[in-house]
Amino acid sequence: MFVLRNVGKLLFGSSNQESMIELPQGQLYLVRPLSPKGYSELIFKDASARIRRTAQDFQYQLVVQRVYEEGEAELFADEEGDDTEADADILAGERDEKTFLLDEALHFRVENREGSERVLAWRDLSGDAGDVYEFVCDAAISQPQVEQFELIAKQCQYERKYRKPHTTATEEDFEQFEFDEQPIPQASPLHSPTIERSIDCSDSMLLGKPSANTGVKREKVPEPDTTTPTKKGKDRDMKPPAVSAHPEAREMLAAEVAELHFFDFPSGAFVLQDSSVTATVTETGDWQYWLQVKSADRDWLGIPVVADINPVFNFEFLSFIFNQFSEDGSAYSWLLRFKDQATLERFQEGLLQALWEQLNEMKWSKIKDKERDYVADAFNDLVMEDSEQAEEEEEEEHIEEEEEEDDRAQSEHYDSDEEADDVEYKPKDSDVNKQLAVGYKHDRSFVVRGSKIGVFKHTPNNHLEFSTNISKVETPKGELFSPKKVMLHNEDRNLILQKDSDPNKLYRMDLEYGKVVDEWNIHEDIPVVTFAPENKFAQMTHEPTFLGISRNALYRVDPRLSGSKLVDAQLKQYMSKNDFSAVATTEKGYIAVASDKGDVRLFDRLGVNAKTHIPALGEPIIGLDVSADGRWVLATCRTYLLLVDALQKSGKNEGKLGFEKSFAADAKPQPRRLALTPEHVAQFAYETSKGVNFTPAKFNTGEGAEETSIITATGPYIIEWSLKKVLNGRKAPYLIKRYTDDIKADDFKFGTDKNVIVALPHEVNMVNHARLKKPTRESIAGEFGIAGRKGSGRIGTPASGRYKLGKDDIVEEAY
């Protein structure tokens, strides 16, 4: 029978050079033995399975690709209708291909059945417990072919786990990738046995009920080998690390008995290590604190109490979850489970006291009980009880997202005449992209790279298209400089710039001419830390004034004044040093000001005292945003975001915002601390050897548009929180996408929550919301297996000699 590879192969060209091995014929099923969604689903009636390399060292993908019969490809192409070529390329790839990162978490295995049937099976990591994909090989596939496929899969898993070539491995090393925990279920829909859902399968991450003695997976992980390993290279077993020497304790802040669990990467679950340990928090020096966990016969761990431990208290499971970082950058995740709520509350009090004092260098006893409760609320893991309605809403939302991914244009744009438009990327200088300003009035984005600014047009089909570049940013006196901060102004016709070496001045660039035309002296004695528009949408108007802050002052800047541009009558200056760090405004012009101390002040206008003071959790605030209506205040710290509801819900000021009226003494706003789960932090660090370091988070925004999403980034990961899921208390209410380079800046396209503009060191992309995925082992590792496809303008990685970018994606070349 004549068969034709999928449309993607016609468009992208052959990718055989990527394939390491291929099984050319078979069927792909998704089997859900425990799911009410249905037992078995035939995904591809005719398919091939192969293993291919990716653009990342030691990363490989298992790829199952649809195979068309003659005439089917043309039929599917006709059904695409008037889609653009770029859309059709990506839609075809998603419809006709399933890719899986070859990781031991897949539990990839092979089974030979009666009648010479051979089946490849692996876990569906994004599905329910027990879900597996099955590739049923055609009868023409020989046993040696399948055995060779299985061997190469083991070699790929070994290389990913240990980050070194499989040629260094022994037969015993490969045995760890043999998974025979249970027979592979039959894939045929004819075999649909009635299976009751086991309680043990209820939750793969934290199994259990509020009782301290039930639910968590109780398997002992082998104790770490303290002897020197005989293997060469970096071992990435991710077992509990060696214990550091403990400093001498000055004062005991907490000491409680608990169970100790360790996050096991292969299984994706917390596994019991010790049923009875003592967890202590002690003061060891001036503003230095220590967390130690030990049992009667073993010392388990000791770490300093700092923000990077990413503490989460979950009262539903009576648990405290935290991270441990080793000297080589590896991260581990631990869970302490206490016998009752009172014990957990006592431990929480001691741990938060240590963390707060370490960050603020002030004694916990000096703050009010109300502020202590505020801090404790922020670190609690607010989880909504599951309900049928919540599950239905999640299912509907998932369906909507899938439909949108099929219908909408994709993030990266590549011209049909790609070969003529592509440019080889080789950096000519040491500059990288740093600042991003997204236009409100006109569909333009501006990216600062050293003393150059690239201008990009937003096309109607949600792509980026290079427009022009401003090759030299220099003062009116001809001095070249690299802008420290930028802000669009006056209907996006001007760009306000700040020079790092002169904080008392700002500069106005006329974007029509592409040059700096004004130098503004703000004030001789009051510098500019940062600045913001007069109101949320002021840059869409001719409003000439804007706001500025210094370390201890808030003021208005009016460029129309002669001499100093600071308006003295609208200056609010504090005698004490408040360390102001960020400012944001609402549509009505209400003002929020944050500080390096971690607190936030809310003003209804300039020149007066703040109406509301939101206490500090401790970490410096590096970014601030406010919803247009003033309901939500969003602060960014290095390791978490803080979402605060400014609406008063009781008392005489019920219905008023904290900007307008002060909160009652007993009714401070409730904070929501948005952080990555400790398990995901550990997996991020496993992939990148870096801790969390968020870019300033932002709401989606637009006139008359409701804020629904929050965007930020850390390292190579773009992260989007769903505001609805956050407010409903969902677990891990965020989606991610990994890039090959660290993200320098990011923001939503104006007027939508569906498209995000991302500035990487040497390129700029617009990514569609549908391209972000739930955080799984595969999405965290990154999907870099498309290298070499003709439909993709990006080839390889910046380190490779084959790296190419389409002209619509690259910033550096335009400069």
Residue 568 banded pLDDT, cuts 50, 70, 90? very high
Q: Which residue has the tokens 């938060």?
A: 352
How wide is the angle at C-alpha 601 spanned by C-alphas 597 and 607, nearest 5°?
120
Do residues 681 and 333 make contact, with C-beta atoms less than 8 angstroms apart? yes
Walk me through the domains of the chain, giving residue ranges and CATH numbers.
3-193 (2.30.29.70), 202-224+237-407 (2.30.29.30), 408-448+676-815 (no CATH)
- DSSP string of 381-401? ---PPP-HHHHHHHHHHHHHH
User: In this structure, what token pair is assigned to residue 424?
Assistant: 């080889």
How far is the C-alpha of 133 from the C-alpha of 40, rounded, in Å? 10
Q: Render pLDDT for 606-643 as a digit per residue (tens, 0 to 9).
A: 988 899 998 888 789 999 999 999 999 999 999 899 99
Contact (CB, 8 A) for 632 and 689: no
The answer to whether the CB of 593 falls within 8 A of the CB of 599 is no
Q: Which residue has the higher pLDDT, 69 or 483?
A: 483
pLDDT in tens, 136-145: 998 888 888 9
8 A C-beta contact, residue 757 and residue 464 = yes
Contact 644, 633 (CB under 8 A): yes
Q: Specify the pLDDT at position 428.
A: 60
Q: What span, in angstroms and rounded, lies between the C-alpha atoms of 44 and 3?
A: 14
Q: What is the 3-state secondary structure (H, E, C) of 284-327?
A: EECCEEEEEEECCCCEEEEEECCHHHCCEEECCCCEEEEEEECC
Does the pLDDT at position 290 exceed 60? yes
Q: pLDDT band at 668, cuts 50/70/90?
A: confident
pLDDT for res 404: 42
pLDDT digits (tens, 9 = 90+) for 216-235: 443 444 443 333 333 333 44
The residue among 512 and 391 whose pLDDT is bigger is 512
Backbone angles phi, psi at 354, to 5 degrees: -65, -45
**Residue 806 predicted with pLDDT over 70:** no
Determine the pLDDT at residue 252: 93
The pLDDT mean for the chain works out to: 78
pLDDT of residue 515: 92
pLDDT computed for residue 730 by the predictor: 82
Helix 85-96 and helix 388-407, axial crossing angle in degrees, nearest 10: 130
Using the predicted structure, report yes or no on whether residue 189 has a pLDDT greater than 50: no
For range 360-377, the mean pLDDT = 79
Ranges 287-296, 362-371, 747-756: which has the least confidence: 362-371
